[in-house]
Structure 1
């Protein structure tokens, strides 16, 4: 098993120690980011991620990408498509990640990736990456419960399917499985940047993840670890969680 580590939260370089991964077996993707706005900087970084994913898929390997945010998912899907695989998206997240530039009141671009994957503002990121917009009905949003009003309004008329972790309805064909670990209830996973309560337990999320993996249809896994730098007991909790997820991949 090879893990592609993208040690960033958006364009902020994080120390590798933020990601308690095995000492060997991962490939870090980093680069000196160019001058310019955040979209140009991320586009330069994500081109490397997309190329790495495409090479792995073309070589018969299922990529596993670990990063500090959800926006990297655009590069993962673009790489899978570049390798000739027409994948749908299953999106585990405590948030909707379905904002547009116009709807976001905070301007936080980490809350926009799913909206961009289905075609919003392609000139910013997905277009330069060569990502073909995903039809809404081929996206499944799992246990997103912390929605801003504009997100809830959009989803009310969208064809994106929504479901809880205990009853994930999968689209046909290959899948890109995106798991933002903040889908886990904040009581079970401390230290998150954007914690959400009222959600599924760690064990429930792991069980749901295993059911999706057991289909044999996951073309790539994108794992977002949006937490602060590990300190004290939090590190042990995160290490155990990542080990369980990655051990499952290794055995699949």
Structure 2
């Protein structure tokens, strides 16, 4: 397992992240609109993921998933996606009243071409997101205890705001009546136990100074440890660079 830290919320540097990373990823961002500005960072993430052994990425928001999926695709991996999130992240620029980029990454991941997508624990959906889910068969919704683990290689994405905000303070976008850390831990382990997880992201957007990093740290550490010791994907014998060197 290779651990990567991407210390940004969108295009802003972020210091309060649970961090136990082997590599810190940064990039110079040019002026301009958000998706153009963030593209160099996602490019560096994609490069790192493409050359990593089962990458685990820690970041400050869900847009990092675009770089992760791009890196997997470079390796010829088209993963199923298991996406834990209190929100849908399914907006487009046309559907979003706020035009907040953090509300769009799962929709953009779908546009990149992935396998089946499971949206787990989502309970705060805007009307356009609910309408999209009702009209598509590309995304399946599931409650925490009802997830059917997909076949094939899996990209596991966990936005920690899926947790009940009573357990972790300071989320930027809290959604009440969420699952406990124990429930998330158990559900994530079910996915990791398949040995087919080829990448994992752990992300969280919170208000600075509210202690969410400290509160979420133990769960982040436990999931990283479990990913590191869970079964390896079939045929996985090390990083791409290691395999080419043999």
TM-score by length of 1: 0.87
Gap change, CA 1:235 and 1:29, over 3 Å in 2: closer
Given candidates 42, 46, 62, the residue that maps to 1:46 is 42
Distance 2:6 2:209 in 1: 17
Structure 1, gaps ≥5 residues long:
120-131
Q: CA deviation at 1:108?
A: 0.4
Distance 1:118 1:236 in 2: 32
Given candidates 15, 18, 21, the residue that maps to 1:20 is 18
Q: Secondary structure at the match of 1:39?
A: helix
Aligned to 2:233: none
**1:155-174 C-alpha deviation (Å, 9 max, x unpaired):** 11111111011121122100
Q: CA deviation at 1:235?
A: 4.6
Aligned to 2:81: 89
Distance 2:228 2:155 in 1: 17
Distance 1:178 1:215 in 2: 15
Aligned to 1:70: 62
Distance 1:230 1:223 in 2: 19
Superposed counterparts of 1:224-239, under 5 Å: 224-231=203-210, 234-239=212-217
Superposed counterparts of 1:1-252, under 5 Å: 1-15=1-15, 18-22=16-20, 25-56=21-52, 61-119=53-111, 132-134=112-114, 138-159=116-137, 160-231=139-210, 234-252=212-230
Distance 1:143 1:238 in 2: 17
Distance 2:102 2:176 in 1: 19
Q: Secondary structure at the match of 1:100?
A: coil
CA RMSD of superposed structures (Å): 1.4
Distance 2:124 2:4 in 1: 29
Structure 2, gaps ≥5 residues long:
231-246
TM-score by length of 2: 0.89
Runs of 4+ in 1 over 6 A off after TM superposition: none
1:7/1:29 contact within 8 Å kept: yes
